Structure 1
Amino acid sequence: MMMNIALAIMYLYPTANPTRDFTVQDNGPEPVLRKGAEEKGRVRYEIRSPEVGEEPVEGVNYRYGIDYNLLVEGEDYDLVERGPFIAVWNLDVPQPTEAELQAAWDAYQEYEATKPPELTEIEQLQQENLLLKAQNNALSERADFIEDIIAEMAMQVYQ
């Protein structure tokens, strides 16, 4: 079974809030350019026209990007599955390494395997009912014992 990074982090840091403290992301297959393909697929995108007399600046007036429609998969680039990764880390502790996450995942799976199964609502009510009956019986026996002691004390007093 593939490691669930979010569950491993929650096992390491049980008080962490997964919506605020960290984000695990999986982008799916991502293109990775092969050597020399960058120039072949490079396209200049205009951001805004320079003002009169202004020299165009990359990042302000234009930017370069890769147009994968101009490239051939398998020849110019490959699709690589990166898998899930920690995209955002807002905890005050250092981000765990891959080895620490794997150890936490293994410990989490071991914990889940040994954890008793959760009871259904009916089973919980049945257990609660048994506990209440046992407590009621214990209180009843105690009351009988106290009655017997009071009766004995009364016999001693009236003799």
Structure 2
Amino acid sequence: MNVAQAIMYLYPTANPLHDFIVQDNGPEPVLRPGAEAKGRVRYEIKPPEIGEQPVEGVHYRYGIDYNLLTEGEDYDLVEKGPYIAVWKLNVPQPTEAELQAAWEAYEEAEANKPPVLTEMEQLQQENMVLRAQNQALAERADFIEDIIAEMATQVYS
């Protein structure tokens, strides 16, 4: 499913560069239970002043160093797919079910749409129509000419 196309189908006047952002982060690591302590690393942000107690988030933070962990044992890479990262429209953000329904409706509408012709194909199609019209006019002129000739023979005989 193309989430951005589904949103544009639901809200055709939305601006995809301003009103919403769809993001796909690719595979992301998900820790298994008990692995956090194994890969936990303390990162210094700034040293505390003299006599100041270090505060987490101000002077240091904890993070996970995945280089210390083993993929498959300590963590797994999980593909979450595209998601709505930013929503600025004044309507409620659509649910997954609404997006899926909009995507299916969009695909159906695209499948029923007539094919887009190139400029050359459009010109060829117009040319065929004009030739058919010209042929019809020529046949009509011949018919009228035959009628006039028949009327003239009856009048002069």
TM-score, length of structure 1 as denominator length: 0.77
In the other structure, the counterpart of 1:26 is: 24
CA distance in 1, matches of 2:59, 2:112: 61
In the other structure, the counterpart of 2:33 is: 35
Q: Deviations over 1:67-90 (max 9, x none)?
A: 001111111111111011111111
Please, which runs of 5 or more residues in structure 2 have no aligned partner?
132-157
Q: Deviations over 1:80-121 (max 9, x none)?
A: 110111111111101000000000000000000000111212
Letter in 2 for 1:11: Y
Q: What is the deviation of 1:123?
A: 3.4
Structure 1 segment 44-123 matched on structure 2, within 5 A: 44-123=42-121
Which of 2, 10, 13 pairs up with 2:11?
Answer: 13
Measured on the aligned residues, the alpha-carbon RMSD in Å equals 1.9
1:71–1:94 CA distance, 2 compared to 1 (3 A): same
> What SS is found at the alignment partner of 2:111?
helix
> What SS is found at the alignment partner of 1:94?
coil
CA distance in 1, matches of 2:46, 2:130: 76
User: How many pairs align?
Assistant: 132
Q: Which runs of 4+ in 1 moved over 3 A?
A: 123-133
CA distance in 1, matches of 2:128, 2:86: 48
